[in-house]
Structure 1
Amino acid sequence: MARPRFLPDNMTLMLIAVVATATVLPCTGQTAVAFDWLTTLMIGLLFFMHGAKLSREAVVAGMTHWRLHLTILLCTFAIFPLIGLALKPLLTMFITPELYLGILFLCVLPSTVQSSIAFTSVARGNVPAAICAASASNLIGIFLTPVLVGLIVVAHSAGHSSLDSILKIVYQLLLPFVAGQIVRPWIGAWIDRNKSWLRFVDQSSVLLVVYVAFSEAVNQGLWHQVPPSMLLSVIVINALLLAVIMCLTVFGSRRMGFSKEDEITIVFCGSKKSMASGVPMAKVLFASGSIGMIMLPLMLFHQIQLMVCAVMAQRYAKRMQEASVKAEIGAGS
């Protein structure tokens, strides 16, 4: 039976359970240290698996449609962050500086892979281009997101060691990813046959990081710092961000003369943000005491984008079907 469009997905339900567990039973002391080491290992394994999974041939083949890919990358890594920065005077009236930093972090993340492709397929868009665009976004994001985060942290936070962040990025993200790319010729086929195992590593890494981060945040009084009214403000801000970027991708792609199939690909790849990449990156890039606050906007955005994109994909599919029927009638008359 199909899942109702507004029912949270399984990953969201697990995240809610993990946050609830961290709220009631936060890890402390040596347990917290052990979990921290475990999450570091899981993040390294995650990026190793992503390196082994990513097909360089698919990305290279997709670059022939450079105009579409450049548009998606600009939406993901330029327009989205600029929107977050432009809205600062408004956003800081309703949320704390830590939560605003979380909004900025959300804005510089790469696009999702699985859901971007899935929604493009449902909406009858350019699926091969979506595969290439989502893969390229994640590959570039491994390098570009930390750079953008560094610029944002320097501008909006004090006492951050950029050298320490660079070293963490290198040995926790880049080295495992490069190692995965190197061994892909030998294990790539096995990875392709066992995508469910990669999904398990993916989700386990995210859940572990969320549990450890929210445990520390709860120990430091997270829910006293984020009352229900501020939580509602974050939800509204996320919805506003998604609405703005979706309007820009829809009308921008039409003004630039893209086909309807390419428009669909731009909308779903250019407006999505990856929680699977964002949560591990937050663990690497930010001080442990602030991770909970920084990840909160991303976790809420994750569910909002799934619900909104599910509705939009169905509407696009209906329009494409109606257009196809009209074309057939016109050809037959």
Structure 2
Amino acid sequence: MAKPFALPRLPFLTDPMIAVLLAATALALVLPATGEARGIAGLVSNIGIFVLFLVNGMRIRRSEIARGLTNWRYFGPLMLFVFGGMALTGLGFASLAEHMLPPLVALGFIYLGCLPSTVQSATSYTSLANGNVALAVVGAALINIAGVFVSAPLFAALGGSAAGEIGSEAIIRIGLILILPFVVGQAVQDRVIDRVAKHRSRIAWLDRAVIGIAVYVAFSGAVEQGLATMFAPGDWAVLAGLVLAMLALALGAAWGVSAVMGLPRSDRIAFLFAGSQKSVAIGAPLAAILFPPSSAGFVIAPLLLYHLAQLVLAAPLALRLARNV
């Protein structure tokens, strides 16, 4: 008797992050935080970001970081791809977008290119594609740690006058809200890492909640500045087309670079997902620190669409790679 046909299980269909991003954006469109409410929401967002990076410092093992630093033949090119090749790609797409989209949205492509890759989804899709999961975990962790220090100055350098100057106030806020809690988490890691590991599912929801709040605050400012009138339906179509083109280019380039490096197939799969994906977990909190609420929603628009697109496309791509082993 023939077995009934069953559709393959695609992780993005049940990924709660998609629902969180869509809900935060929709809530900002319908009920934006304005006036005193926006100040309170911003304070809650900053507190959540501090706690999130404290927990990240607790859960990323120092031994993994040390092990990754010794494998420079893999992680050196990966870092250059993420913070060099992708940043320049974002600069190129920003040049295209500035002729068709509002200036702040075009600037968002540079911001997108300067961000690190994801940790959780890059690892999940590497596993689904039968890639080197250990390499993916360490690689994504190292890139995210580097991103805390690299993304903001890199964005300032490539964005030029359009990005404005990252003044001492922004640097202090990055240090206090992102770097300080991570360093503290690393310092106390030995005493708490086992307890943190037991609450992995709750921590995942902490990630989503903090990202959702940051996105809500950012888009509330954009709505208050007239997002609906400044951004026509045709603009959304142009933005989506540019984002999909950038993602396709990133995937093709990552796969090609890993081939030139002569990596085995399992390592190439890890390079593919760690190199091409971008992290809203770093991007949304960092945007809340770098940009005023009136600008942040416009700047992170390409990031949100890119993040959703990478989740949708990564699942069938990973399944195809797994079948072709």
Asked if these proteins are the same fold (TM beyond 0.5), I'd say yes
Amino acid across the alignment from 1:122: L
- Give the counterpart of 1:101 among 70, 89, 107: 107
Q: 1:5 to 1:115 in 2, by over 3 A?
A: closer
Residue 150 of structure 1 contacts residue 162 of structure 1 at CA under 8 Å; is this kept in 2?
A: no
Whether 1:243 aligns to 2:260 is no
Within 1, Cα distance between the matches of 2:107 and 2:288?
A: 14
Whether 1:224 aligns to 2:223 is no
State the partner residue of 1:149.
155
Deviations 1:108-136 (A, max 9, x none): 11110011111111111111111110110
State the partner residue of 1:131.
137
Residue 5 of structure 1 contacts residue 311 of structure 1 at CA under 8 Å; is this kept in 2?
A: no
Q: Report 1:1-333 matches (<5 A).
A: 3-4=9-10, 7=13, 9-158=15-164, 160-320=165-325
SS of the residue 1:87 aligns to: helix
Residue 57 of structure 2 contacts residue 183 of structure 2 at CA under 8 Å; is this kept in 1?
A: yes
The offset of 1:170, in angstroms, is 0.9
The offset of 1:311, in angstroms, is 1.5
The offset of 1:66, in angstroms, is 1.9
Within 2, Cα distance between the matches of 1:87 and 1:187?
A: 43
Within 1, Cα distance between the matches of 2:74 and 2:218?
A: 37
Q: 1:161 to 1:112 in 2, by over 3 A?
A: closer
Q: What are the ranges of 5 or more consecutive residues in structure 1 without an aligned counterpart?
A: 321-333
Q: 1:37 to 1:88 in 2, by over 3 A?
A: closer
Aligned Cα RMSD in Å?
1.7
State the partner residue of 2:3.
none
Q: What are the ranges of 5 or more consecutive residues in structure 2 without an aligned counterpart?
A: 1-6
Report the number of matched residues: 319
The offset of 1:2, in angstroms, is 6.5
Residue 75 of structure 2 contacts residue 139 of structure 2 at CA under 8 Å; is this kept in 1?
A: yes
Q: 1:218 to 1:114 in 2, by over 3 A?
A: same
Q: Normalization by structure 2: what TM-score?
A: 0.93
Residue 93 of structure 2 contacts residue 246 of structure 2 at CA under 8 Å; is this kept in 1?
A: no
The offset of 1:174, in angstroms, is 0.8
Deviations 1:50-93 (A, max 9, x none): 11111110121233432111121111100001112233432222
Larger Rg: 1
Residue 222 of structure 2 contacts residue 297 of structure 2 at CA under 8 Å; is this kept in 1?
A: yes
The offset of 1:216, in angstroms, is 1.9
Q: Normalization by structure 1: what TM-score?
A: 0.91
Q: 1:200 to 1:8 in 2, by over 3 A?
A: closer
Q: 1:161 to 1:89 in 2, by over 3 A?
A: closer
Q: 1:203 to 1:186 in 2, by over 3 A?
A: same
Amino acid across the alignment from 1:57: S
Q: 1:161 to 1:264 in 2, by over 3 A?
A: closer
Residue 10 of structure 2 contacts residue 315 of structure 2 at CA under 8 Å; is this kept in 1?
A: no
* Residue identity (%): 33
Q: 1:75 to 1:221 in 2, by over 3 A?
A: same
SS of the residue 2:270 aligns to: helix
Within 1, Cα distance between the matches of 2:138 and 2:256?
A: 22
